[in-house]
Each structure stands twice: as C-alpha cells, then as structure tokens.
Chain A
Amino acid sequence: MSDLTDLTVAGIRDGFRKGDFSAREVADAFNGAVASGRTLNAFIVETPEHAIAAAEAADRGRAAGEFSPLSGVPLGIKDLFCTEGYQTTAASHILEGFTPTYESTVSARLFAAGAGMLGKLNMDQFAMGSSNETSAFGNVISPWRRRDGGNAALAPGGSSGGSSAAIAGRLVPAATGTDTGGSIRQPAAFTGISGIKPTYGRCSRWGIVAFASSLDQAGPMARDVRDCALLLEVMSGFDPKDSTSLDVAVPRWEAALSGDLKGKRVGIPKEYRVDGMPEEIEALWQQGIAWMKDAGAEIVDISLPHTKYALPAYYIIAPAEASSNLARYDGVRYGQRDLPDGAGLQDMYAATRAAGFGSEVKRRIMIGTYVLSAGYYDAYYTQAQKVRALIVRDFEQAWEKCDVLLTPTAPSAAFGLGEKQADPIAMYLNDVFTVPASLAGLPAMSVPAGLDGQGLPLGLQIIGKPLDEQSVLDAGLAIEERAGFAARAERWW
C-alpha cells in the first residue's frame, strides 16, 4: 500500500469506504507526519487524540454500514477557528491560554461530517500578514526550497501559512483557511496547493476570531480542486448566528465538477499586468490563457479601471474594522492581562494591549483608529467605501462580458523569511491581485500552475460571479488537468 499521507481527501474518503484501510490507520499516519514535521512549525497545538477519536468513530460507523461525507478524514484547523476545549489564539500572545467553550460553525460542520482534527495551525497574528512572520508562536517554514542550494528558509505565505505548509509538507491532507485580502489564495500559490475563498456569506463567520468582518471568509485549502469542492460543500451553509450568512442552498459542487469550458467566457483584466512583475509570471498567465482556450473557453479582454485603488481602499477598510473588532481584547473577559502595580482600569487596558499584541497588529489598530477618528472619517473611511463601490461596479460590468476572470495569484513566488519584514508596504503588495475580489465579496481560488526558475510554485487565480463557485472550480479544474502540476517539496525536515 502506498503512503496514506500521499492521499487526497477524496482518496481517503473513497479508499476508506472501499475498505482499503481503516480510519485509524489514516489518523495514525498523519499524526506521525505531524510529529515528525515539527521543524516546519506549522502547528501551535497538536491534537492527535481528536483525530483518533474521530477515526475510531468512523471505523465503528463503517462496521455498521454508516458513512458521513468526511468519514475517516483528518484535517488541520487554522488557529482562527474557535475549537471547544482546545486553545485558540489567532497566533497572538493576547489570547494565549484561551480555551473556547464553544465550537465555530465551520469546524462544527466539518466534525459533524466525520472529520477529525490533527491540530491548530499556525498563522499570521490575527490573520494580519502575508508571510506568517507576525505569529507570536514563531515563523512557519515552507517545505519548499530554492534550487540554488542555499537552503534559505522561505515564507509559506500568509496569513494561512500553517495551513499551506502543512498541506504542502503532507502533514495534513487538507485544512481550513480564512481569507480577508488573500490569506487563502496567496499561501496556496506559494506552496503549490489549491485554495478557494467562497462568496462572502457562504461560510458562517460565527466562532472565527474576527479581523475585518466585511471581508473575512473561511474556505478550504487542499492538494487539488476536487478536495476544495467537497470540503467547501461541508463548510458552507446558512447560519442564523451570523447576520451576514446567506440563506441560499449549497450546490453539489463536487458532483458537478467539469473541466470542459465550452461556452464559457474567460476575462483577462488588463490592469493586472503590473510594472515590474517577473517575466515568468507573465509567461505563466499566457500559458493559463492557452489552457483556457484548449478547454473550450472564449477569451475576452476586460478592463477593471479601479484595480489600482483596491489595495489603498483595503488598507483603510481592513484596519478600520480591525481596530473596532480588536477593542474586545481588554484583559477582562479572556486572554492575557497585564496589570502594573497600582494601575487603574485604563492603565490595565493599555498595558494589556501593549504586551499582548504584536507590532503588525498594533500598526493596523493605530491606522484604523486614525482613519476612523473625528475629522478624518469622511476623508478616509467614507471615501474608501465609495471607491469600494466603484470596484464592485467594475466587476459587475465585467460580468456582462465574461463568466470568470483569470489572473496571476501573487506578483512573485515565495520570498525568503525576513526579506520583506522591514517594509510593511512591500509586504502589503503581495495581495495586490487578491484584494480586489475580497473587496467585492467574490468567490476566487488559486490553483498551482507551474514552477519558476528556482523551482518554486506559482499559482493562477480565478475570480467568479457572486455565488458562482461552480464556474470558479470548473476553470480551476481545467487548469489543473492541463498543468499536470506534480511537483512537491523534497523532504528535508
């Protein structure tokens, strides 16, 4: 039998049903991979007992002829999802020791479908970052290395960097991620895996530590498009506990998957051709266009004129929402408290937050507080929300001419840890291609499409109409079938 950790989620599900192996064998194999992969620092907490309990339940169910959609499948859960009885920190010191007494809706749905949890995955602190370097629990190291022999430690992307590294290193078959401005798609691109952010409102935000509530969406990260489709089916669905949850039916995305794009129009937005973008990414984009044509699609030139304003609008809206959401960390109800001798309540708040938040989190709270403060609100926040409306309008006009958009996922391959730490703006630019779809609440996914000259993965992004995840997944599958991406990080850890 081949190594169980090489199986996809669908492979585990189907092999388990057929009786090729037990769920316990799968859980043991992945628990072993997690334990021997600690060098990558992908996990903040390992939960082998949770994975084993779910596996034993799945094995008992199989003996009785009962199967759930994810019976026998162990998953990694990003540490932004509250997990009952298991520490949840959002990778911040301020939540160290916080053990939720409730389960997030998304993780509850996955567990109810039979999945087990291998552990809580490391991430950028409060999901603020694009390299996983803002975690209070240390950097995650990508399993990938450049071909130059230098063995430089590379970023797994962020904020879902523990998720991407764990999947690429085959420590987990798939994981949850969250995406506020690209936090599923960019790490997926950096590590040669797939990931989809669904339409805003598909997945309940209840029980997910909030960063920017009008942007945050959960989604799956996995090795291929099929796994993304089947996991998203389980994660999605109406939840009365989230006021922005959409009360719409969840389609059977996996069953309907098709890489045949006949009759589909694929838009190529000219504004995504940025000065200074590496030639290899431009070439890969052209290759992607050729693959779309080969799959039967018609290619259409599109203009999204406000694209260049997406990043600046995002860096007003997201910090503004974050400054409000993160006001709850005050040292009173949960998490860490810092109480200097003789301090009053206000001093306790300020000391707690100074000690508990990392520097990037403080930076964003400060920006958010500033742009929302008296006298600046209209100039910054209101203007940003108006520009956001124009970005949404750009997409609406594009949908009159095409069904999906094809773009690169990120403007570069994975960079080295520390290379962009000194300049916050350089880091923010990683999300230049992913932020527009976030601001418009659109479904978007990244699929691995090739390697650069250093042997590092590059991804292509597909953006779809609201609620049309099917077209996004289908176009992703069309790329996957033609790219034949089989490269994997050679094991060194």
Chain B
Amino acid sequence: MIAIESGGALLLIALMALVTLLTRLGGVLLMSFVPMGRRVEGFINAMAGSVLVAVLVPVAVKADAAGQLALLSTAVLMLLYRRPMLAIAAGILVAAVVRAV
C-alpha cells in the first residue's frame, strides 16, 4: 500500500506510466531476441489480425442490440465498399438512431 499523501500519488502515476511504457516498447524489444524464420513470420502476421478480433469479441458480446447492429452495419459496408470512415460513420449513426427510437 502506498498512501497518496506527500508525493505517493505521483509515485503511483510514475509506476503506472513505466509499466505501460514497457508494454509499448516490450513487444519489439522481445522480438529482437527471436530469430526470424518463416514460422515466426507466419505467426506474427496471423497474430496481427487476431489481436484486433480478440479485442472486438467482448465489445460485441457486451454491446446492446443497437451496438451489435452498429458493428454489423460497419462489417457489411466494409465488405461492400472497403471505406473505413464511411463504415464507421454508418455504424455510429445506426447505434445513435436505434437508441433514439
């Protein structure tokens, strides 16, 4: 336990910032010790999209019906037109409209 009085809070914030910075730099740093081969490269490339999907799963599960419709609209528009800004705007609009009615 650290008391937040007399500079304790600043110390806590500094420690949080340090841990977060290590996660930002650590991925590239750790990979520099891994010899690159076809399997490692295949792993990294497949992991890239999977990180996004894994971040999205609880978002989609926790969302209300309006939120899920928003994600669906974004997905459909992306598959049709491949225009991210259009697809995102449509998704947000859907969520806002469905929640308003």
Please indicate whether A and B come from the same complex rather than being unrelated chains: no
